[in-house]
Chains A and B, each alone.
Chain A
Amino acid sequence: MLEPSPYQDHKTWKMTPAMIRARQPFFKKNLMGLVILLGVTGTIYTYTYKMLNKDSDFADVPIPPIDEKELEQLKKEYELEKIRRAQK
């Protein structure tokens, strides 16, 4: 096992008061650094999550205009195809 640091309580593993005093001058800047790092990561995650949920099955793609006759023709072909498949 690693040698326990003299600045940790041997029983509770807490930082000793001496270490807390030594870290005091850096507390604010460390906290600010933490907030900035978490902020950057958090924004990237939320941005990505929102981007992914925007997928909506091409609903925003307009359907091109189609001729009546051509539609009839396509429907017929579709029916024939259905029958052909059923026979198989």
Chain B
Amino acid sequence: MLASRTPVVYRAKPMTRPIMGFVRNALGLDPPASPDDPTPENRFHPWDQSPSPDLRERAARIKAMATCPVTHKDIQFTCPLSGIPTHHSREAWEKDTEYHKSKRYELLKKVNIYEHDLRSGRPFPEFDFPQDQDYDRMVNMSNWDLFFYTRSFYSMDTEFQLAAVTKMLSYPITIGSVLHQYSPYSLNPKGPITLEGLKSLAALRYTLYPEQSGRFRAGQDTPIRIFILGTRAEAQLPGHVWKQLQYLIPDTSIELHFVGPESFYDREKRSYVQSSTETIVKRIDEKMQLFYHTDFFHVFHEAQDFFPYDPYNDVFFCFHPGFAAPETEEYWMGDTMKALMQTKCAVFTTGFSKEDLLRDISIVQDKYGSELDMLMEPVPNVFGSTKWELNDTNPHEVYQFNMYIAGFRGKRYHAIEL
């Protein structure tokens, strides 16, 4: 994802003949679009004849690993509408009425064109992110478009630019959108946040906005610790992407803790670093630090490395953890989940799809139902990735990163009146 980024310095062109441009505009004569601009037409290639070797290889992998939903044989036929290998043969493709009725080929086509766009070698001015927000300019967190506009990002005119940028920014901005004072998620019944959720978020916002809570003292601010458990792709995002989260919350310093055996990839050794004692620290600036803890959360929890937890300062995020997925369930639902419940801090989790998230939440509720409070009902994530992704072992499974979000927390007991 990141390798495809070409370092391009974007500069606004000097306005050449603005008056002529204005006249042409008034007459409705638009200048012809540049052939470099991405359109669904010029980014469409069948994957097995793709100009990019990566995608030809991926098509071969789908053909090798996936099975046809109709004939249950191997996949040999490339759907002409989406350009992705989906069925065994043309007959099977024609017979698959569910495929045509649900218009799944449109989503598959989006997967196809977005992947080709990232490999097209066009300039990517949208990856030049803005710096500090001016003091008197508010950020609107209602949706991606308003967020980009109020933060003065590059003007993302096409779905291609949105797809490329939102996939990266989805992780920091999802965290930001939950914690921010102008969060798009409001209290029940108008929004998904429960009363318990508001209590947790209010505690966190007390830390995040020291000036508003009237406890601003220079040199004494405690950093907010954001733990990201089971990290994979998100731990490899470069520092300037995480810094976008800090620009949303400029008053408080942030410590991001990536926890999980796949949280630090050593590019020289080409393997994940694994250690339950050492922590890799990356300092972005005085306001933000990244910590990589390369083992399971319960290991550090039992060693009391993160102790003490404070619901005013600590919050947990799990980006598509797969609590209920058969491959990962055993890692999550045992000691790790117990440790999470003991911290009594807010935990927010996202899913690839509604079913994925509901499955995760229901397994947690089944196992720990009496020990937890729901903080946030499962809802579509406002700041999910808009790039459509494809599961290589089943090309009929199309999803987006961070599509749905929910939150829970180990139950806190109230003081008993005597």
Give the CA-CA distance A4 to B142 in the complex, in Å. Answer: 26
Give the CA-CA distance A17 to B21 in the complex, in Å. Answer: 18
Residues 15-48 of chain B: 1 if any A CB is under 8 Å from the residue's CB, otherwise 0? Answer: 1101001101100001100000000000000000
Q: Any chain B CB within 8 A of the CB of A30?
A: no
| Known interface pairs A16-B157, A25-B142; A6-B21 also in contact (CB < 8 Å) | no
CB-defined contacts of A3 to chain B, threshold 8 Å:
12
Q: Are B149 and A19 in contact (CB under 8 A)?
A: yes
Checking A1, A13, A17, A24 against B157 with a beta-carbon cut-off of 8 angstroms, the contacting residue is A17
| Known interface pairs A18-B148, A22-B146, A25-B142; A6-B154 also in contact (CB < 8 Å) | yes
Give the CA-CA distance A6 to B153 in the complex, in Å. Answer: 8
Residues 154-174 of chain B: 1 if any A CB is under 8 Å from the residue's CB, otherwise 0? Answer: 111110000000000000000
Checking B16, B30, B152 against A6 with a beta-carbon cut-off of 8 angstroms, the contacting residue is B152
Give the CA-CA distance A19 to B152 in the complex, in Å. Answer: 11
Checking B21, B155, B157 against A11 with a beta-carbon cut-off of 8 angstroms, the contacting residue is B21
Give the CA-CA distance A12 to B148 in the complex, in Å. Answer: 22
Q: How many A-B residue pairs have CB under 8 A?
A: 48
Checking B12, B145, B152 against A4 with a beta-carbon cut-off of 8 angstroms, the contacting residue is B12
Give the CA-CA distance A58 to B25 in the complex, in Å. Answer: 56
Q: Are A1 and B15 in contact (CB under 8 A)?
A: yes
Q: Any chain A CB within 8 A of the CB of B13?
A: yes
DSSP majority for the A interface?
loop
Q: Are B145 and A13 in contact (CB under 8 A)?
A: no
CB-defined contacts of A17 to chain B, threshold 8 Å:
157-158
The smallest C-beta distance from A30 to any residue of chain B, in angstroms, reads 14
CB-defined contacts of B13 to chain A, threshold 8 Å:
10
CB-defined contacts of A13 to chain B, threshold 8 Å:
18, 21-22, 25
Q: Are A14 and B25 in contact (CB under 8 A)?
A: yes
CB-defined contacts of B21 to chain A, threshold 8 Å:
11-13
A11 nearest in chain B by CB position = B21
Checking A1, A7, A10, A12 against B149 with a beta-carbon cut-off of 8 angstroms, the contacting residue is A7
CB-defined contacts of B149 to chain A, threshold 8 Å:
7, 18-19, 22
CB-defined contacts of B146 to chain A, threshold 8 Å:
22, 25
CB-defined contacts of B154 to chain A, threshold 8 Å:
6
Give the CA-CA distance A11 to B14 in the complex, in Å. Answer: 10
CB-defined contacts of B148 to chain A, threshold 8 Å:
18, 22
Give the CA-CA distance A17 to B13 in the complex, in Å. Answer: 19
CB-defined contacts of A19 to chain B, threshold 8 Å:
149, 155
The smallest C-beta distance from B348 to any residue of chain A, in angstroms, reads 25
Q: Any chain B CB within 8 A of the CB of A21?
A: yes
Report 7 cross-chain contacts, Cβ distance below 8 Å, ordered by A residue.
A4-B15, A6-B154, A6-B155, A10-B12, A12-B21, A13-B25, A22-B145
